[in-house]
Amino acid sequence: MRQYQQALRVKTQGKALHKITSKIESYVAESGIRTGLCIVFVRHSSASLIIQENADPDVLLDLENFMKKLVPEDGRSYIHSAEGPDDMPAHIRSVLTHTSEQIPIANGRLVLGTWQGIYLWEHRQRSHQREIVVHISGE
C-alpha cells in the first residue's frame, strides 16, 4: 500500500463555506493512487469540513442560516469567550459538523456524488489561516 500526504492552507475571510474539492482532487491525481481512500482533516477546533451540495448556492446559504439559529452568538449563553463572542459558538459548530471526511478513490478519482463538493466551513467572524491535512492511501 502506498501513502501520500499534503497540507492544504486556506486563508478564510471570516464566517463562510470555502469549496476545496478541486484542490483535493489535484492531490489525488498527484498521488498516483488509483484505488484507495482519501482522508481530509482540518487541524482546528473552530472550523470544520462538510461534503454537501455543490450546484445550488442556496443550499449553503440555508445551512449557514440554520446554524446561526441553532448556535447563536449572543455573548450571554456561554462561559468560554476568551477570543470573543463567536469563540464558543464556533467550537460547538465544529462539534456538530466534522473535523474530518473520508472519501473513497476509484480509477484515480474521488468517488463523490454528482452534486457533492468538499467544503471548509469557517465558523469564526474574522479571517484565519486554516490548515487541512490530506492523506491518501491505496494502490
Mean of the per-residue pLDDT values of the chain: 96
C-alpha grid cell, residue 69: 439559529
Domain that includes residue 37, residue range:
2-138
CA 100 to CA 61: how far, in whole Å? 22
| pLDDT tens string 84-137 | 899 999 999 999 999 999 999 999 999 999 999 999 999 999 999 999 999 999
Count of domains for the chain: 1
Provide the 10 A C-beta neighbour count for residue 27.
Answer: 20
> Which residues of 71-128 form beta strands (DSSP E)?
100-106, 109-110, 116-122
Looking at residue 5, what is its pLDDT?
98
Looking at residue 65, what is its pLDDT?
97
Residue 82 pLDDT greater than 90, yes or no = no
Confidence class for position 31, pLDDT limits 50, 70, 90: very high
pTM comes to 0.95
Check which CATH number belongs to the domain holding 6 and give it. Answer: 2.60.120.460
